[in-house]
Structure 1
Amino acid sequence: MGIVALIIIGAAAGFLATRLMGVETDIPTTMFIGIVGALVGGLILRALLAMMGALSGFVGAVLGAMLLIWLWQKYGPTP
């Protein structure tokens, strides 16, 4: 997957994940969460991607971003 595609999918996944988790963040943080979530989700769901296609890659990106948000809320800095 190209860098541009990773940024676009990551931004979309980060946006969706922050909305699902009820987190308000700025655009760069949302993109960072989505991109890292896409990497984590892509690694975890690689077998699913082989079976179901590109849609599972987006699902994995959203799930990875949601996991990252949860870890950030649980162990990250408190405001």
Structure 2
Amino acid sequence: MPIIALIIIGAAAGFLATRLMRLNTDIITTVCIGMAGALIGGLVLRFLLTVMGFMAGFIGAVLGALLLIWLWQRYFGK
């Protein structure tokens, strides 16, 4: 079951990533891009959480607050 879930998540992530980057790829390439991206992203995130611990949560909170402020200024500020 985990392999099927990885393929489905990889397909969705690859589809989204290729559309955001405006790439025209076939289905196999799209799934491979998504699976590789999930693997790399998961490893990087796990590494950052292990190394930084509490600081990772703090940095995430600051980035989230910055995003919220930007959205507020962009759509409701003027």
- TM-score, normalization by structure 2: 0.56
Alignment RMSD:
2.5
* In structure 2, distance between residues paired with 1:33 and 1:13: 8
Percent of residue pairs bearing the same amino acid type: 73
Q: Which runs of 5+ in 1 are unaligned?
A: 50-79
- Larger Cα-atom Rg: 2
2:25 corresponds to: 25
Q: Which runs of 5+ in 2 are unaligned?
A: 50-78
List 4+ stretches of structure 1 deviating above 3 A: none
1:10 corresponds to: 10
- TM-score, normalization by structure 1: 0.56
Length, aligned pairs only: 51
The higher-RCO structure (CA 8 Å, 6+ apart) is 1
